[in-house]
Amino acid sequence: MTESGRKLLGIIGGMGAAAGADVYRRLVELTPVQVDQDHIPTLLHSNTDIPDRTAGILGTGPSSEPHLLESARLLERNGVDLIILACVTSHHFIDDVRAAVACRVLSAIEETVGAIVREAPAVRSVAIMATTGTITTNLFQNELGKHGLEAMVLPEDLQDKYVMEGLYGHDGIKAGFIEPARTKMLKAIDWLTAHGAEAIISGCSELPLLYSQKDCPVPLFDAMDCLIRQTIMECTGKQPRHEA
């Protein structure tokens, strides 16, 4: 809590650095303000020591959990009232993060599925575009199932060819390339919608850097956008702006 009594937000970023910066940019753009002082007081810890989340989950690299807990505790020591994780895959560890701190930790998974239920009640089949790590953990699948929704994912070969190459490939977004990665993601969207997806979840914080609703013929739910909007509600008590 700040001296003025306003909620202080903590963001765990650095997964990757551009994604964390984009989450903060979106937070600023979507917060309804009249003056500078209306913005949400925020601490962003861009913890670039956090190992790759997918590698850790799949057992091909070190776990991200110790560094995530380090960031959460650092933010709590500095007085934050609310924490968000600027990486969807890192939500695999959200229960551990929640157990490590007393302050509230919002879930992008819970907020996204909640938004689908509210805003697209007729939808039954929901496709998930996310890292293989996120898909393997069934984070979205389990939450969708709680609401009677069917989860749909790409076949393994297309998941590797489009999503993972678009994120991690030599010409992927983590290497700083936008257009080649965007092309791959749009092919993934085409396949999913052609095979019955009635809505699509963008379940990785870097995917919004590559495409938007105008590129998708069915309702698109960006997990980080859903998280940011709920964060604004909790910190300000106001509805976020409809569009940035």
Could you list the active site residues? 87, 204
Question: What residues have CB less than 8 Å from 1, skipping those under 6 apart?
Answer: 7, 8, 79, 81
Instruction: Specify the DSSP class assigned to residue 49.
Output: T
CA 98 to chain centre: 17
- Residue 230's identity, in one-letter code, is Q
Whether residue 235 contacts residue 40, with contact meaning beta carbons closer than 8 Å, is answered with: yes
Helix axes of 108-119 and 139-146: crossing angle, nearest 10 degrees? 40
CA 97 to chain centre: 16
